[in-house]
Amino acid sequence: MRTGVWLVGARGSVATTSVIGALALRAGLTAPTGCVTELPELRGPALPGLADLVFGGHDVVATPLTKRAEALAAAGVLPGRLADAVAPELADVEAALRPAPTEGTPADRIAAVVDDLTTFRRRHGLDRVVVVNVAATEPAPAPHPAHHDLPALRDALAGPVDVLPPSSRYAYAAFTAGCPYVDFTPSTGARLPALAALADEHGLPYAGHDGKTGETLLKSVLAPMFAMRHLAVRSWSGTNLLGGGDGATLAEPAANAAKVGSKQRVLAETLGYLPQGSTRIDYVEELGDFKTAWDLVTFAGFLGTGMRMEFTWHGCDSALAAPLVLDLARLTAAAHAAGRRGPLTELAFFFKDPLGATGHALGDQWAVLRDFVAGLHGGAPR
């Protein structure tokens, strides 16, 4: 099952780490640490093998992958000489990357993406291509009536004004080209009724939003712990310090608001009430690809006794996100092959703000994922 993985934001840190990591795994140069689909509980015949993945993608910048890889190695994200060890394969991926189209009406740019996708699929003889958005976080777009109506959206796109943010244009193009779409960012992506209708028209599955890689991952196990123990969380305050490209983007108030919203949702939905406190994102360039999150939780136990916990998470976003990008591409491809269409709510395990209403507790999400994958593998749900 030859599977294309088309990365939107293909020259960024996450995409570059995904690509080099997949090449290194294929070459037996590294272990699949961080790859959920390589766990014994999920591994199996329905998923495309790592050797079956073919990478391509769009980006608005032109930095060569080797250059980005050097920066990632200097920052401690990639082992020093890993990119060299997979240089020929990396050159093939470089050749498959395309500049993001910038000319003409929105419809023209979408058509150009559709063309790139179909050419990529045909040239590499792929069974299917999964489009994965790993580009920088966008601000939420202004509401527009065409977001709710596919014919109206078609009309609007032919005009000169952009009613869709880039992530949604890519979703539109993916569906038009017959490709499943995954949004790893908090951007709008396929989250518009008109795009859901388009996916439905083409019988395609899609997944999102916002990969759960750090503070929210911890919230999704700690908040259920407090709930299961009937402890009353009084406040939950979080500070996220991050450098890297995403840090600079998220320092923009509009993008920040989008991100922070999806970060707090897990608390209200898991606990059944919203504790005091808020989540902050601050840009500290010097932290590079690493991120430090600090959270303070104050809570009451029996007879109202006040207690507290703090945690510090010092993670490398690219190293946490990249293997999940591979997981999502493989799982979405397998779902597509199995005839699934519409939102893949069973993939909530991977997301801060998952499509559908499946709850945010990681343990529950894991059980749902395990059953889903078992179904794909043709076995009875365990």
List the interface residues with a copy of itself, window 250-279 (CB under 8 A). Answer: 276-278
Which of these ranges, 75-83, 122-130, 169-177, 192-200, lies near a copy of itself under the rule CB under 8 A? Answer: 75-83
To a copy of itself, the closest distance from the beta carbon of 277 in angstroms equals: 5
Could you tell me if 24 and 151 are in contact, meaning their C-beta atoms sit under 8 angstroms apart?
A: no
Could you tell me if 224 and 363 are in contact, meaning their C-beta atoms sit under 8 angstroms apart?
A: yes
- CA gap 343, 345 in Å, rounded: 6
Binding mask 34-73 for a copy of itself (x = CB under 8 A): xxx-xx----------------------------------
State which of positions 209-238 bind a copy of itself (CB under 8 A). 217-218, 221-222, 224-225, 228-232, 234-235, 237
- CA gap 272, 294 in Å, rounded: 23
Amino acid at 361: A
Query: Is residue 26 a contact point for a copy of itself (CB under 8 A)?
Result: no
Which CB sits closer to a copy of itself, 67 or 81? 81
CB atoms within 10 A of CB 378: 10
Query: Is residue 87 a contact point for a copy of itself (CB under 8 A)?
Result: no
Listed residue (256, 255, 315, 311) closest to 281, CA to CA: 256
- CA gap 304, 295 in Å, rounded: 21
To a copy of itself, the closest distance from the beta carbon of 286 in angstroms equals: 4
- Per CB under 8 A, the list member of 44, 141, 178, 363 interacting with a copy of itself is 363
To a copy of itself, the closest distance from the beta carbon of 24 in angstroms equals: 7
Query: Is residue 135 a contact point for a copy of itself (CB under 8 A)?
Result: no
Amino acid at 174: A
Pairing of strands 342-343, 205-207: parallel
Query: Is residue 242 a contact point for a copy of itself (CB under 8 A)?
Result: no
To a copy of itself, the closest distance from the beta carbon of 368 in angstroms equals: 12
What does residue 313 show for φ and ψ, rounded to 5 degrees?
-120, 120
Amino acid at 160: P
Three-state SS for 291? strand
State which of positions 275-314 bind a copy of itself (CB under 8 A). 276-278, 280, 282, 284-287, 290, 292, 294, 296, 298, 300-314
To a copy of itself, the closest distance from the beta carbon of 319 in angstroms equals: 4
- CA gap 19, 54 in Å, rounded: 9
State which of positions 316-345 bind a copy of itself (CB under 8 A). 316, 319-320, 322-323
- CA gap 168, 176 in Å, rounded: 12
- Per CB under 8 A, the list member of 77, 100, 198, 376 interacting with a copy of itself is 77
